[in-house]
Structure 1
Amino acid sequence: MAARSYGQHDGVTRALELVGDRWALLVVRDLLVGPRRYGDLRTGLPRIPTNILATRLAELVEAGVAVKTPVKRMGTVYELTPLGRDLEPIVLGLARWGMRSLAEPAPDEVVTSDALTTALRAAFVPGDAAFVVDVLADGVALRVRVAGDRLDVATVALERPETGEAGVAARALRELAPDAVLRATDALQRALAGKAAIDDALTLVEGDERVLRAFTTAFARA
């Protein structure tokens, strides 16, 4: 548990004591996408000092928010407990709230696959559409599956060598051709928040124009 104490006895205070320290919720954000090795988290949070990441992970484990799990051929991974997964609607709500204030990205700001996955989850509007789309955005490739009120987002490793179970899954994923491939601009996060036209943030690389329209409808939360 984090050492910080606010000296107050209520739910908000307790929540901040558990996950309110700097970087903690970003670690939770990435773990909500799926289990991650220490190195995966380090890559997804490029500015976090290694000692801070180790400390935050230890605090989350001690608080019962996350757990360390040995996985065959992957080593040790961190994943959220049921208590940690209960943070998903809170994190998605924070994402929607924060996206309303997004400006153009600074030159040194990056969009990671887990951050974009969270943005898509936050902006998703359940409907009747069904499609599979690959979204390409500055080194990030995501396979987005929509089936009515169900959304699944997975990272597609396009060029990195793949080994083990994760590599088998990635190769199998690529063998299933998507209905369309879309290229996203830096404006996609702002478009998902309704601060820019989503049509202007996406270009159809291949596939049917109707799939692009279905995608923009499914993620036009505004």
Structure 2
Amino acid sequence: MGDRWNLLVVRQLLMAPARYREPLDGLPGVATNLLADRLRDLETAGVVERLAEEGNAIVYALTPWGAELREPIESLVRWSTPLMARGGGDRFRAEWLVVGVRALLVSRAAARRSSTVGIAVDGQLLQVRARRSGTEVSLHDGRDLDAVVRG
């Protein structure tokens, strides 16, 4: 997991299984051959698997063992929160908040009633769904939102 880009590839796949182009687009600066090498290495290590989708498209997904990386990655997100306030011209994509916001909310008390709040950043919309069973964070699925926070 210590190789450059591996944790970021896993972070992308924690959001959802993806075709090759999606992590490539979601990781500005990664070369296509480097991403291919990382996916292959992670597959060999048993962290990532290739799944056939309808129409013979390949989708990359975390294996059950790879999905166990959610907890340590979310711990790193919580640990690094003070660094996020610094800014400084780093690249940012709103979809990266899917893992980050969940990490920050995971230990919060369960909601008394179900509600869904949108987070709008740079033209992208995420949703935070609070339920009694816990909090889910994902890209907006088109359903109605109770409120939207813009930033």
Q: Is TM > 0.5 for Structure 1 vs Structure 2?
A: yes
- Tell me the residue number matched to 2:50: 68
Q: Does 1:55 align with 2:22?
A: no
Determine which structure has more spread, i.e. the larger CA radius of gyration: 1
- Tell me the residue number matched to 2:127: 143
Q: Does 1:94 align with 2:76?
A: yes
Identity of aligned residues (%): 36
Contact kept in structure 2, 1:44 and 1:112, CA below 8 Å:
no
Question: Where does the alignment leave 5 or more consecutive residues of structure 1 unmatched?
Answer: 1-18, 157-172, 185-222
Q: Does 1:42 align with 2:24?
A: yes
The residue correspondences of 1:1-222 to structure 2 (distance < 5 A) are 19-72=1-54, 75-113=57-95, 115-124=96-105, 125-129=108-112, 130-156=114-140, 173-174=141-142, 176-184=143-151
Q: How many residues align?
A: 148
Contact kept in structure 1, 2:111 and 2:130, CA below 8 Å:
no
Q: 1:110 to 1:87 in 2, by over 3 A?
A: same
Separation in structure 1 between the aligned mates of residue 60 and residue 26 of structure 2, nearest angstrom: 14
Q: 1:63 to 1:147 in 2, by over 3 A?
A: same
Give the deviation of 1:111 after TM superposition: 2.7
Moved over 4 A (4+): none
User: Normalization by structure 1: what TM-score?
Assistant: 0.62
Q: 1:106 to 1:140 in 2, by over 3 A?
A: farther
Contact kept in structure 2, 1:133 and 1:182, CA below 8 Å:
yes
Separation in structure 1 between the aligned mates of residue 109 and residue 25 of structure 2, nearest angstrom: 31
Query: Quick check: which one's strand share is greater?
Result: 2
Separation in structure 2 between the aligned mates of residue 132 and residue 48 of structure 1, nearest angstrom: 33
Separation in structure 1 between the aligned mates of residue 43 and residue 125 of structure 2, nearest angstrom: 30
